[in-house]
């Protein structure tokens, strides 16, 4: 149980109204600055006194970071500060990219979706409780992983790509965006760069203290979704213990292009199984050109979990991933 203190420790607050002013502030304060969007991840850290910054830069006044618009290539650009409720209910998203609206609608609780942003949901930190409780683990700059010891409680932790740290990425929208080949627009005082969603998320082998490529001075301003997967056949499922609030034990986002019962191309992405959303490239390659039937589903399911390494208490995630992939191949009607 969290200890309830009276108020958060002191910080200096800035509320810029333009992206340029925001970047100037991030530049001035560097690693002392914390970017605040919805705040649902942020305030836990501050209230628990496990992370602190001298300066908080609040994005709520930057209007240009909100809203959904069509792009020239027929895709969409979603402002990073667009709330999850808006992403879930926005007709432009619903029409062509139902995968993303479904994912956004399954995040946490109504009030959290009313406040939490798409940019925040994909940039949030891991939920590993050893780390979040302030233990000096690898991710916190120490030299041990408390979740990977003989007595550790690690039901929610990684089965793929662990490297010293076994924490997982808890985002629901992240796998949907990876499956849709989305691109993340990042700005800093050096200019703008665009990163594929798949490369936006990083594992402990790349940097054990970060979940994304964002560094001090960077600001995620928008998420672009190309027309590539518009109106493909989608499958999203989130497995969790209670149907509100909970982060996923495993979730899956799949997009398939099917012609005459044959899978032409596909994307399969699972999350909460590694520190980044895991794209199942082997499955995508193997099902291309195969009929969409039970045999293909069984083959894809088996392939999906190859190389998975369970910890003491999270072995259940292996059949879970296998079955979710099968269900994604069968499609919503037969799942």
Partner 1 sequence: MSTQEQTPQPSSSVTRRAFIKMVIASSAAVSASAYLFRGSTLVGQGSLPGAVERLMSLNVNGQLRRVDVMKQETLATTLRYKLGLTGTKLGCDRSECGACTVLIDDIPHYSCSVLTHTVRGRKIQTIEGLEQPDGTLHPVQQAILDEQGFQCAFCMSGFVMSAVGFLKTNPNPTREELAHGISGNLCRCADYDKILRAMMRGAAYMQKTTT
Strand partners, 225: 76
Rounded distance between C-alpha atoms, residue 269 and residue 248, angstroms: 14
70's enclosing H/E stretch is: strand 68-70
Min. distance of Cβ 47 from partner 1 in angstroms?
7
Compute the distance between CA of residue 125 and CA of residue 58 in angstroms, rounded to an integer.
18
Q: How far apart are CA 97 and CA 197, in angstroms?
A: 15
Residues that bind partner 1 (CB under 8 A): 2, 4, 6-18, 21-22, 24-25, 28, 36, 39-40, 43-44, 46-47, 54-58, 60-61, 85, 108-112, 114-115, 243-245
Q: Please say which residue, 25 or 176, places its beta carbon nearer to partner 1.
A: 25
Comparison of 108 and 302: residue with beta carbon closer to partner 1:
108
For partner 1, which is the closer residue by CB, 189 or 334? 189
**Cβ atoms of residues 207 and 196 within 8 Å:** no
Q: Which is nearer to partner 1, 55 or 213 (CB)?
A: 55
What is the Cα–Cα distance from 84 to 223, expressed in whole angstroms?
A: 13
Q: How far is the CB of 132 from partner 1 (least distance, A)?
A: 11
Angle between helices 294-304 and 317-330 (to 10 degrees): 150
Nearer to partner 1 (CB atom), residue 1 or residue 72: 1
- Report the C-alpha gap between 296 and 124 in whole angstroms: 35
What's the min distance (Å) between Cβ of 211 and partner 1?
20
> Are the beta carbons of 46 and 8 closer than 8 angstroms?
yes
**Least Å distance between CB 85 and partner 1?**
8
- Closest CB 115 distance from partner 1, rounded Å: 5
């Amino acid at each position: 149980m969290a200890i309830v203190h009276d108020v958060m420790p002191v910080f200096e607050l800035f509320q810029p109204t333009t992206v340029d002013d925001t970047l100037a502030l991030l530049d001035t304060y560097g690693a002392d600055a914390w970017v605040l969007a919805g705040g649902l991840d942020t305030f836990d850290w501050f209230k628990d006194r496990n992370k602190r910054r001298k300066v908080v830069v609040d994005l709520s006044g930057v209007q240009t970071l909100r809203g959904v618009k069509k792009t020239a290539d027929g895709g969409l650009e979603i402002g990073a500060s667009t709330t999850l409720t808006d992403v879930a209910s926005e007709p432009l998203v619903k029409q062509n990219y139902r995968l993303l609206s479904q994912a956004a609608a399954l995040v946490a609780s109504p009030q959290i979706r009313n406040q939490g942003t798409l940019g925040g949901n994909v940039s949030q930190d891991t939920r590993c409780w050893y780390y979040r409780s302030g233990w000096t683990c690898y991710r916190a700059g120490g030299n041990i992983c408390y979740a990977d010891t003989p007595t550790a409680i690690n039901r929610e932790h990684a089965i793929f790509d662990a490297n010293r740290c076994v924490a997982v990425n808890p985002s629901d929208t992240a796998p949907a965006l990876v499956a849709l080949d989305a691109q993340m627009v990042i700005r800093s005082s050096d200019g703008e760069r665009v990163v594929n969603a798949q490369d936006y998320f990083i594992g402990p082998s790349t940097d054990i203290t970060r979940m994304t490529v964002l560094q001090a001075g960077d600001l995620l301003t928008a998420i672009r979704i190309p027309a590539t997967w518009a109106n493909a056949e989608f499958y999203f499922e989130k497995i969790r213990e209670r149907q509100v609030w909970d982060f996923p034990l495993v979730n899956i986002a799949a997009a398939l292009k099917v012609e005459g019962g044959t899978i032409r191309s596909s994307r399969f992405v699972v999350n909460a199984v590694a520190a980044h959303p895991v794209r199942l490239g082997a499955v995508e390659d193997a099902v291309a050109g195969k009929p969409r039937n039970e045999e293909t589903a069984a083959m894809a399911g088996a392939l999906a979990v190859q190389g998975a390494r369970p910890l003491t208490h999270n072995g259940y995630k292996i059949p879970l991933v296998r079955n979710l992939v099968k269900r994604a191949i069968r499609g919503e009607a037969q799942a």
